Chain A
């Protein structure tokens, strides 16, 4: 690239700096290796794959420049502004371990960039993302680019509502403590009439699940219009609640083509007494924030399905890491988000998923490179967001699920409930018994990771539905290598 030069010092402010023409980004002030980030700065870390022969520091500076104030050429109008403040500063570039010469992967670099808080409008994920991921992913200077992590300053977090309900209040409203919640997605996800659909919901809830759920693409189709679904599902929810004495819920998906229509559906859900509604990630950041405000105003739990995320979060060299989506969604204000199962059918490395869960649930997350957390993050008392584990999980994995995912999670057994050989209620019983037996054993101090299968076998002696579930799915596991894995692995260190 012509912009590369061996003299990369930032040019001093003044006449020469603003001479018309093109300057390397580094010389324009976007590379400042001595910069000490302020507590109020927003920090971002990108994985950069530069074009062959490019200087990684210059490419990092280009990312900083194009995601803040820069354009491709010098403009004198910078001098009308406090431009040094507004320039994002790339302050650190590290080569990614196990990339570059002698490895199978071309050289990649972690670039750390600091942004002045005044660059961003308060309370707007749209504005934040328009800067950070607005233009830079298409720049020719980068072959590939991935946003790996962000540190959001407390001052900026305080401009966001955060989860409408939060884990603590959700549990208080549902009157369910000390164990993961249980759910299931209604299957088949497409084609059931409202009446038939409500049957599945009733059976699952009466059998022992806390929640049933619409799937991401159940909105209002020819085979079942939304009002029918809402009416039948709420009959099922209330009937199951009376049959068990427990608070029950069904995530009514209000996703629609316009905000007006989503509000209309949400209002109807409220009128019918639903405790929870659902939206899909594909509705967009602003729509999500609007629905979160509505949910806070109307005592509603807000479930988010991460539909579409894998189009940009799965591949390691380009797009953005899911942990960043977790951060943005906690800020945007959803109460539930699908965040992986480790053991199920969808992508998920255990260490990475631990990082997602901590991001959603902790008051404060320390830096933890093995979990992919590049920055310490203080959550400034923003509510906690409940992770949801869904996709290819069954009762026989309960010890693994509880060990990996802990108590604050919704375990969603869709096929694992509805596909039970003795019926949907039996499927729900199997899951609930497996869960309660495992929580009891863990609290008693037993080593559930190793004794888990025996604990399940013992419960199956008195619980026929659990026996049948274990026999049906005993050999099912999804052992594929993850694509999104940690770049840092723990190594033994020698101390002297």
Chain B
């Protein structure tokens, strides 16, 4: 069990708020589409803070401009991977940005065991730190 104030992984824009409803998610999708950003759905069972590449639930939806269609993709992903972390990302292709512009979690495993901190004592008082995701002690697909 995680001991931070929320007891959950707090990556993303809205992890300190109550879980977003479909209506709230749709409003965020509309905001992104209004900015001309492409939306994408990604999932993982390894939420390590430096696990950059979550699996893509299909490529970013560059040509889908219908918020209901995008919400449907999110819900398809939730149905397929009900016990995974799922995030919605927005991408801007504007020169000078060309990078993600939004990222928020829309699905989580029922139990989030979190991470251990492994301290390797090295020279003198120096310590090398490893953040270890408890879930990854099990093979992919069998973690939650």
Chain A residues within 8 Å of B, Cβ to Cβ = 168, 171-172, 175-179, 206-208, 231, 234-235, 238-239, 241-247, 271-273, 363, 381, 384, 425-426, 429, 432-433, 436-437, 439-440, 443-445, 459, 462, 465
Contacts and interface: CB of A to CB of B under 8 A. Distances in A.
Given A178-B101, A178-B102, A272 B126 contact: yes
A437 B49 contact: no
Contacts of B28: 440, 443-444
B47 A245 contact: yes
Given A175-B49, A247-B50, A436-B14, A363 B96 contact: yes
A445 B101 CA distance: 17
Q: Which 6 A-B pairs have the closest CB atoms?
A: A245-B9, A178-B102, A443-B31, A238-B129, A242-B117, A242-B115
B13 interface: yes
B11 A246 contact: yes
Contacts of A459: 17
B93 to A, nearest CB: 13
B10 A238 contact: no
Contacts of A439: 13-14
B13 A436 contact: yes
Given A175-B52, A178-B90, A273-B129, A208 B16 contact: yes
A437 B18 CA distance: 10
A245 B131 CA distance: 9
A384 B131 contact: no
B2 interface: yes
Nearest to B47: A245
Interface of B: 2-5, 9-11, 13-18, 20, 24, 27-28, 31, 47-50, 52, 89-90, 95-104, 114-117, 125-129, 131-132
Nearest to B10: A244
Contact of B49 (A246, A440, A462): A246
Contacts of B49: 175, 241, 245-247
Contact of B13 (A179, A207, A426): A179
- Secondary structure class of chain A's binding surface, majority of residues: helix
A425 B102 contact: no
Contacts of B97: 168
A244 B9 contact: yes
11 contacts: A175-B11, A242-B131, A244-B2, A245-B2, A245-B47, A272-B126, A273-B128, A437-B17, A440-B24, A443-B31, A445-B31
B22 to A, nearest CB: 14
B72 to A, nearest CB: 20
Contacts of A235: 127, 129
Contacts of A244: 2, 4, 9-10
Nearest to A465: B5
A235 B3 CA distance: 17
A432 B16 contact: yes
B24 A177 contact: no
Contacts of B15: 436
Contacts of A271: 126
Given A172-B100, A177-B101, A272-B126, A245 B11 contact: yes
A433 B129 CA distance: 29
Given A208-B5, A443-B28, A462 B13 contact: no
